[in-house]
Structure 1
Amino acid sequence: MASDFTVNAEPVHFKEAIDFFRSKLRLGTRAWTDIWQDQHARTFVVAGAMKDDLVKDFQEAVGEAIAEGKTLDQFRKEFDDIVARHGWSYNGGRGWRSRVIFQTNMRGVYASGRWQQVERQKSRRPFARYVAVRDDNTRPEHQAWHNTILPVDDPFWTTHGPPNGWGCRCRVQSLSARDVKRLGLKVSEKAPEIRMRDAEVNTPEGRVRITVPEGIDPGFAWNPGQPANEPARLGG
């Protein structure tokens, strides 16, 4: 079985995903909630970055980090240069903010490219397997979804295709029937039950109550790879 994906100094080899990232529409935003769920598939934003030239510099720095496999420490040098050059005042500490920008984009691009591969291979490998890292930092729900094996076209993957939250390290693996047998696993009889929960998110206009699937952070109930295969759109 392939090792779990880790954000490190290894380039993302999905050319389609890298090109897709670089083609994203740049938008200035007040907060991460200004752009919601799969709208992020077609847009590049940095919460609180309103000026286009500032967002452009971040997009180029992140794109370079993704393509060249730069480390977080290397990206932080770029982050510091961009902040100093634009005089940008941001919320949160430098370590936390740079890590969120780096990891969220890196994992999102990896997941997008991986799912595009899954779609291309589904005639030969018709199943997708949910793979969790399974350590002390893994969410209980993600632990429970580990080894869920369903057809690639099952609706479960539309909302539960990882990453499923901030810092989520889960991934999908495409499998043939022979692969499933070789791993000593079985195709799941049905998808895990999806229970919904109420949550609140902070927006510039105040707190907003929303409903999200249990185990998924607000704003993550979508599959990063699916919008990449659809016509460009910007909307809810």
Structure 2
Amino acid sequence: MTWDPFEQAPHDAINWFRDRVPVTVSEWSTLSQDARRKAFFISGTSQLDLIGDVHKSLLKALEEGKSFAEWKKEMKPRLEAAWKASGQGPTTTAQINNRMGTIFQNNIQSAYQAGRFRQMTDPDVLKERPIWVFVAIRDDRTSDICRRLNGTTLPHDDPFWIKNHPPRHPRCRSSIRAIPAGDAQLKAAPAGVEASPGWGTMPKAGEWANEIGKGVAQGAAASTWTPAWNGNAPTAVKGYGLPAQLPARPLPRNPQATPATRQIVSDPLDTVLIYNPEIAPLPAGVTGEVLQETLENPAEIWLMPMQSSKGTLVYRQRHISSYQDGDETLLVVVESHRGVVISIHVLPEEKAGEVRQGFLRFSNISA
């Protein structure tokens, strides 16, 4: 079969968009400008499950090359119902269509431009095409702030690009073209043409995970959370037939172990967890080594549905292990909220039944 480059999925754009983290508006507002590029939110709704579903639908649109009309047909009923229920979103058909068009174009265009950025900054590409040209689509819909920049031609490492990378405003259609140095006639940008607030930043790598971790933690702390069960949650004994007490393993003691620092950890289920000691400081008796052991090799992982006082539903995970420290048994519980470690507790052994409940996702002990 003949390979056609124009029929290939935009893998760099897809990978960039896949890594975006769904957050609520309140969580997004706490993030730095760089971290916001890695966060995905929808104004007018605090329903995290809906935000996550919209993110998945846009990712699917990227992967399958869906048009705006196809995507709108799929997601309009849910978004329309959520906006009307919240009283914060668009209400008329024209307003809803316009808002959905903005969501689709902003996210798809951001993904394409981030994917193109990754391609243009490949060392081999930079060697052959080190000059960048700002290209605006010139028609009656072109914004003045992009029209005036059209044709700006500067080296890729010029400071201009740091705050002027497309998209530079909502529904921006501009792009950047890379050209060889021999083809370039440099042209500086006109003075005083700035991107809209919150737009135009270069999709550079950064510690976005820790920024998002802080945003998620602050968003969680802003509400009161209660278990979202109808009736009693299953427990280790009543529901799964597991032993009432976890078998205690020796407490890790490595004098060479490093203290707990900012890190991203994967557990046995390949769940990615963000840990920041500023969010969840270690309690007495727990070292960085114990924390890592509990996350990477827990005795059990439990999933507990929790609902906030604002109506948001999330599933919190609890990584649990029991350790023997001399004559004392330590029950270590690490709780995470949407992939961010928000608390670490050391509990008495008799408290095991209170935290070993919900959906059992993983266990390395026998019933």
Higher fraction of helix:
1
* Residue 11 to residue 219, structure 1, CA distance change in 2 (3 Å): farther
| Cα distance in 2 for residues equivalent to 1:12 and 1:35 | 34
Q: Quote the residue 1:46 is aligned against.
A: 42
Measured at CA, do residues 12 and 73 of structure 1 come closer, stay the same or move farther in structure 2, by a change above 3 Å? farther
Report whether the alignment pairs 1:22 with 2:18.
yes
Corresponding residue for residue 116 of structure 2: 114
Residue number in structure 1 paired with 2:179 = 175
Displacement after TM superposition at 1:11 (Å): 7.8
Aligned residue-pair number: 199
Give CA deviations for 1:10-48 in whole Å, capped at 9, x if unaligned: 988431321221122111115975656433321111112
Q: Which secondary structure state, in structure 2, belongs to the residue aligned with residue 104 of structure 1?
A: helix
Q: Deviations over 1:39-97 (max 9, x none)?
A: 33211111122122111111111111122111111111121243378685451222012
- Tell me, what secondary structure is at the counterpart of 1:19? helix
CA 1:35–1:128 in 2, change beyond 3 Å: closer, same or farther? same
What CA distance in whole angstroms lies between the structure 2 residues aligned with 1:75 and 1:103?
11
| Counterpart contact for 2:135–2:176, Cα < 8 Å | yes
SS in 1 for 2:142: coil
Kept in 1, the 8 Å contact 2:16–2:115? The answer is no
Equivalent residue letter for 1:95? N
Task: Name the SS for the 1:145 alignment partner.
Answer: coil
Structure 2 equivalent of residue 73 of structure 1: 69
Which of 126, 133, 138 is the aligned partner of 2:130? 126
% same residue: 27
Q: Pick the aligned partner of 2:157 from 121, 141, 153.
A: 153
Scaled by the length of structure 1, what TM-score is found? 0.74
**Aligned counterpart, 2:98:** 96
Separation (CA, whole Å) in 2 of partners of 1:12 and 1:32: 33
Give the structure with the higher percent strand: 2
Residue in structure 2 matched with residue 142 of structure 1 by the alignment: 146
CA contact (8 A) 1:11 1:67 kept: no
Runs of 4+ in 1 over 6 A off after TM superposition: 84-87
Paired residues for 1:166-205 under 5 Å? 166-180=170-184, 186-188=185-187, 191-195=188-192
Give distance in 2, aligned partners of 1:38 and 1:108: 13
Task: Say which SS state the counterpart of residue 25 (structure 2) adopts.
Answer: coil
Match of 1:206 in 2: none
Q: Which runs of 5+ in 2 are unaligned?
A: 1-5, 216-367
Report the 3-state secondary structure (helix = DSSP H, G, I; strand = E; otherwise coil) of the residue aligned with 2:134. Answer: strand
CA distance in 2, matches of 1:52, 1:163: 25
Gaps of 5+ in 1: 1-9, 181-185, 196-213
Query: Higher relative contact order by CA 8 Å / sep ≥ 6: 1 or 2?
Result: 1
Change (3 A) 1:12 1:112: farther
- Please give the secondary structure, in 2, of the residue aligned with 1:123: helix
Q: Residue 150 of structure 2 aligns to which amino acid in structure 1?
A: H
Matched, 1:232 2:208: yes
Quick check: 1:132–1:169 contact (8 Å CA) kept in 2?
Answer: yes
Cα distance in 2 for partners of 1:31, 1:94 equals 24
- 8 Å contact kept, 2:166–2:176: yes
**Which residue of 1 is the match for residue 351 of structure 2?**
none
**Conserved 8 A contact 2:28-2:36:** no
In structure 2, relative to structure 1, the CA distance for the partners of 1:12 and 1:143 (3 Å cut) is farther
Q: 1:54–1:147: structure 2 CA closer, same or farther, 3 Å change rule?
A: same
